[in-house]
Structure 1
Amino acid sequence: MKGVHILLAIALLALASYLASASDPSPLQDFCVAINDTKNGVFVNGKFCKDPKKVKPNDFFFEGLNKPGDTSNSVGSRVTAVNVQQILGLNTLGISLARIDFAPKGLNAPHTHPRATEILVVEEGTLYVGFVTSNTDNRLFTKVLNKGDVFVFPIGLIHFQLNVGDGNAVAFAGLSSQNPGVITIADAVFGSNPPISPEVLTKAFQVDKNVVNYLQKQFGSDNN
């Protein structure tokens, strides 16, 4: 019986060790402001750290998020990202922000954030939003959001927002990564460089090659 208790204790310690290594480590300093210095040091999440003595308030500052983004593009929306590329002080902090502007009927096309969950709040207008679960059942969750409403898009899942109101719409999104990444589905599939073989796409989408050729000529959106 004693041997069973020892084995159980070892198993619990192993599980605790696994869980600890499977999550982000606790910060060992107040901040790690990113700096594009490739001469010395080792990349941490793709960035070097600035000497803390040289850190300035502007390393944690971004201005202009009150200004509407230009929605005069093919999808009628514009994402203004505020991540570690715009605020170097976000490095290692695991959070970022975005403003999304929509023209009437504007769409933030189906996309994923491979490294972040997103929480969206509507500042103005009415949005039809949704996400699709993984291939276990491809279940679609949708909701119509009005001013002040909040919706969550789980990490890595395909999601979208469509302006279904009569005027412009604005939303703000918080994301659980300093650099959440974005993969716009149509752009990635039909606008890759070099193009994916039409043979692959005709079989994947069960359409004629002429349809694939047409779609590959349309994509390469400048929305993000």
Structure 2
Amino acid sequence: MASPSSSYLLLLAAILALVSWQAIASDPSPLQDFCVADKDSKVLVNGFVCKDPKGANADDFFMAAKLDMPRDTKLSKVGSNITLINAMRLPGLNTLGISLARIDYAPLGENPPHTHPRATEILTVLEGTLYVGFVTSNQDNKLFSKVLNKGDVFVFPKGLIHFQFNPNPYQPAVAIAALSSQNPGAITIANAMFGSKPPISHEVLAKAFQVDKKTVDWLQAQFWADNHN
């Protein structure tokens, strides 16, 4: 039987391991007031190099994104248009661990199933109605879904497959999403599986999705457009 002191040490070690894992699994905390991205730097790091803070100005923290203006969804095959504001577009966001997106949905438009490998997302509906949901990891693959109306909020946990769909055939919808990474990334499932370059083997996809190779051929021949601006 373990002594109280050894049990305490094991508990302490477990807590330290958990804290260390959480630190690794998210954007690093800044060590200074700000780190405006120097996108002209030739140095390659996991993020952006900071430019000299003495040369920073208010424009580094500003972007005339006009997020109050409707976005065109007509050119999107899935009927949505995403305007992402991240560190690549707003240099002052570098190292701050956040980003923002406006999502416009055409009538019956959707933001198809996708994941953000580096961010949790919190979505607020500004106009219209959305059917949203996420699926838990194996083995359960449980669907958590909800119909959201104007002003409603929903959270998509980091890394889990999620989606949004506008069920109204006549009215568009608009949402704002906040994400817990300066560069959350987006992996759209259908695009990744059937639009990869070079294509994934027919045998792999046919077995994985339990369909015949002709179906895989047809899916790979589609134009898998990106709905991100």
Answer yes or no: same fold by TM over 0.5: yes
SS in 2 for 1:22: helix
Alignment match, 2:84: 81
Superposed CA offset, 1:34-88 (max 9, x none): 1124346x72x32101111111111111222122222012111001001111111
Whether the 8 Å CA contact 2:29–2:95 is kept in 1: the answer is no
Contact 2:29–2:96 (Cα < 8 Å) also in 1: no
Q: Distance in 1 between matches of 2:11 and 2:52?
A: 40
- State the distance in 2 between where 1:84 and 1:168 align: 28
* Match of residue 48 from structure 1: 49
Is 1:62 matched up with 2:63? Answer: yes
Aligned equivalents of 2:107 and 2:40: distance in 1? 43
Q: Is the 8 A contact 2:60 2:91 kept in 1?
A: yes
- Paired with 1:39 and 1:182, the residues of 2 have a C-alpha distance of 25
Count of residues in correspondence between the two structures: 221
Matching of residue 185 in structure 1 with residue 189 in structure 2: yes
Q: Say what the alpha-carbon RMSD is for the aligned residues.
A: 1.9
Contact 2:105 2:166 in 1 (8 A): yes
- 1:222 is displaced (CA, Å) by 2.5
The residue number in structure 2 matching 1:205 is: 209
| 1:151 aligned counterpart, secondary structure | strand
On the 8 A contact 1:37/1:48 being kept in 2, the answer is no
Instruction: State the AA in 2 paired with 1:133.
Output: T
8 Å CA contact 1:128–1:161 kept in 2: the answer is yes
Q: Deviations over 1:2-22 (max 9, x none)?
A: x94654554455345434432
After the TM superposition, which residues 126-205 of structure 1 pair with which residues of structure 2 at under 5 Å, given as runs? 126-165=129-168, 166-205=170-209
| TM-score calculated relative to the size of structure 2 | 0.89
Is contact 1:190-1:219 (8 Å) kept? no
Aligned AA (2:41): T
| Segment of structure 1 superposing worse, 31-40 or 129-138 | 31-40
- Whether 1:215 aligns to 2:219 is yes
Q: Structure 2 counterpart of 1:18, which letter? A: A
For residues 1-80 of structure 1, the aligned pairs below 5 Å read: 4=3, 7-8=6-7, 10-24=9-23, 26-39=29-42, 43=45, 45-63=46-64, 64-72=66-74, 73-80=76-83
Q: Does residue 92 of the first structure (1) align with residue 82 of the second (2)?
A: no
So what's the TM-score if we normalise by structure 1?
Answer: 0.91
Identify if the C-alpha distance between structure 1 residues 26 and 83 changes in structure 2 by more than 3 Å, giving closer, same or farther: closer
The sequence identity of aligned pairs, in percent, is 64
Distance 1:19 1:37, change over 3 A: farther
Please list every run of 5 or more consecutive structure 2 residues that lacks an aligned counterpart in the other structure. none
Deviation string 1:100-134 (CA, Å, 9 cap, x unpaired) is 00110001111000111100000000111111111
